[in-house]
A and B are shown apart, each in its own frame.
Chain A
């Protein structure tokens, strides 16, 4: 290895020099990034700073904006509603992860196989990806109707519950519908991941006498480490944006039973016209998102230079 190294590295260095030389001058190229940068600064970075500033103001969404100091922060953090919303957000985030990850992993491995019927099943699995959250929520409202929905169709009386009207059941329904919507997406990610695992590893394991189950736990799962981290990052940061589905399905109800943080931000800001407190909630959302992404990234280690989610 080391001799090989000595002979190749000068060549590599030479090539690298050529690469550097062939790159355009910064001044020529930098302006190409300017349009994207302007879009991003105006509609993402300025609002990001803006949401922080607005959290120190009073605004009803129409009239004048006035400075409020830390009043909003005090009122939000002394409001039990905030802690309830925060708690619900984490419950949805964690239960979604616990439910969706094993199913997606299993289905991803399953659909990665080359059997024809699996390919056909996969075509059907991915159908929910095509529907908008609003469409899914509206469809589930009809499906969950105790008299004219699935329960009556399948003749299963235990399914005939007031799913969206019972505070204890509504959150479960929300988590189920989120899984219905997003498991296909994560299945797709895992399917791609499994297909990249070199066949030879399985062949070697087979020679060593490892069974299918062992192969799954000792080859497939460890080989998918980065896929699992990518999928988990998307799942957890994504759960901070579940807004439309819950808004249409339950509008946070019954009572406050499904009022998670993003929905709470909308209802406080645009329905109760309290933009100041809603901005505080938004800042909390941004901070949670950044922290979650950083923690998950740390779990993945630092050797992911080629990773898709580098820098998250």
Chain B
């Protein structure tokens, strides 16, 4: 109808002018197959997690003698102590460094690029956008061999920076996509009034677009942060020193060294998850919306 007459850009602009669609929860609907699947799936999720937690509190003797699903006769935190003494604090801080070190630059460069793509025009920016969109369809892990070669040539092999730089690059396409969608939703009238007030695009970006894009920035930050925090391939390939291990890598080597001491291995699993679990308890909604990074939008 009107879209065919005036082109799709108009409808897109038009959509921006409408209030956000209200969420419609189907309320109070009885759902038998869903319920059955729901409780069954709960068991599938909870039993393994319960097993991990209680086993991590068992002594090795208890592990071998008790029923595996029974609560430990003598709960002990000895395993946790052992894990922490095995340099897990260092792994924890390494993980924090690479996560913060990768997420913050990603957010800054992706935000600036998104602002330019939405607000600017011309072939260059269109090309940049197309390039990032293409990047979404490529399993970037497949480029790990040349990344490894380049990191060696740059003399960065076996450093935390070696993990950070490719992490930023891999995170850019999706971050730009989500932020662009958000900046597009900012009513044009607001940009217009900034312009009439004599603000430069640079000022508009920081004073108008940044505050309005905050939810998207948090979402993208969480999504990328979790990806880097739990990432395994880049640290495995681009570092080798024990003192540069990040948590997932530390878990893996710990498991290799202490494979006979299952309670301690599982204590390391629990410990490595605690920071994210704390985040989940504190800001579940934010975290969950970050996890899907707006895929469900």
Question: How long is the Cα–Cα vector from A243 to B248 in the complex, in angstroms?
Answer: 13
A153 engages B51 (CB within 8 Å): yes
Interchain CB contact under 8 A, B272 and A154: no
Q: Could you tell me if A43 and B188 are in contact, using CB atoms closer than 8 angstroms?
A: no
Given contacts A36-B110, A132-B247, A311-B130, contact A230 B10 (CB under 8 A): no
The interface-forming segment of A14-22, A80-88, A162-170, A252-260 is A14-22
Asked if B155 is at the interface (CB within 8 A of a chain A CB), the reply is no
Write out the residue numbers on chain B whose beta carbons fall within 8 Å of the beta carbon of A109: 31, 34
Known: A107-B38, A112-B25, A290-B138. A139 touches B266 (CB 8 A): yes
User: Closest CB-CB distance, A27 to chain B, in whole Å?
Assistant: 8
What are the residues of chain B within 8 A of A4 when measuring CB–CB? 2
Contacts of A175 in B (CB 8 A): none
Interface string of B113-138 (1 = CB under 8 A from A): 10111011110110010111111111
Q: Interface digits, B155-174 against A, CB 8 Å rule (1 contact, 0 not)?
A: 00000000001101110110
Please determine whether A153 and B284 come into contact, CB atoms closer than 8 angstroms.
no
- A183 and B45 CA atoms in complex are apart in Å by 10
| A202–B272 CB distance below 8 A | no
A45 to B273, CA, bound (A): 33
Shortest beta-carbon distance from B204 to chain A in Å: 8
Contact, CB under 8 Å: A139 / B112: no
**B169 partner, pick from A31, A44, A278, A285, beta carbons under 8 A:** A44
Q: Are A192 and B146 in contact (CB under 8 A)?
A: no
In the complex, which of the residues A39, A46, A107, A199 contacts B34, with contact meaning CB atoms closer than 8 Å? A107
Tell whether, in the assembled complex, residue A142 and residue B266 are in contact, meaning their CB atoms are under 8 Å apart. Answer: yes
B176 to chain A: closest CB distance in Å? 7
A9, A39, A48, A115 interface centre (most CB from chain B within 10 Å): A39
Q: Which residues of B contact A244 (CB under 8 A)?
A: 232-233, 248
Q: Which residues of B contact A227 (CB under 8 A)?
A: 296
Do residues A132 and B125 form an inter-chain contact, with CB atoms below 8 A? no
Residues of B within 8 A of A22 (CB): 188, 191-192, 195
Contact A110 B31 (CB under 8 A): yes
Give the chain B neighbours of A278 by CB distance below 8 A. 145
Give the number of residues in A that approach B within 8 Å (Cβ atoms). 130
State whether B109 touches A28 (Cβ < 8 A).
no
Is A126 interfacial (CB 8 A cutoff)?
Answer: yes
Beta-carbon contact of A286 and B142 below 8 Å:
yes
Determine which of B115, B119, B150 lies in contact with A47 in the assembled complex, contact meaning CB atoms within 8 Å: B150
In the complex, the answer to whether A113 meets B116 with C-beta atoms within 8 Å is no
Q: A289: CB under 8 A from chain B? A: yes
Tell whether, in the assembled complex, residue B26 and residue A33 are in contact, meaning their CB atoms are under 8 Å apart: no
**Could you tell me the distance in whole angstroms from the C-beta of A226 to the nearest C-beta in chain B?**
10
Complex Cα distance A12/B11, Å? 9
Complex: A240 Cα to B142 Cα, angstroms: 9
Question: Once the chains bind, are A54 and B146 in contact (CB under 8 Å)?
Answer: yes
Per a CB cutoff under 8 Å, which of B35, B112, B170, B266 touches A32?
Answer: B112
**B145 contacts A279, C-beta separation under 8 Å:** yes
Within 8 A of B (CB), among A1-44: 1, 4-5, 8-9, 12-13, 15-16, 18-20, 22-26, 28-33, 35-37, 39-40, 42-44
Quote the shortest CB–CB distance from A76 to chain B (angstroms). Answer: 14
Decide: A103 and B41 in contact? CB cutoff 8 A.
yes
> At the interface, yes or no: A143 with Cβ under 8 Å from chain B?
yes
Chain A min CB distance to B103 (Å): 13
CB pair B139 A132 closer than 8 Å: no
**Across the A-B interface, the 8 shortest Cβ-Cβ residue pairs:** A192-B296, A50-B146, A311-B133, A43-B169, A153-B69, A110-B34, A29-B120, A132-B230
8 contacts between A and B (CB under 8 A): A8-B2, A26-B122, A42-B150, A48-B138, A134-B230, A152-B67, A180-B44, A241-B141
Q: Which of A's residues lie within 8 Å of B, judged by CB? A: 1, 4-5, 8-9, 12-13, 15-16, 18-20, 22-26, 28-33, 35-37, 39-40, 42-48, 50-51, 54, 59, 61, 103, 106-107, 109-115, 118, 121, 123-135, 138-143, 145, 148-150, 152-154, 180, 183-185, 188-199, 202, 212, 227, 230-231, 234, 237, 240-241, 243-244, 247-248, 262, 265-266, 269-270, 275, 278-279, 282-283, 285-286, 289-290, 293-294, 305-306, 308-312
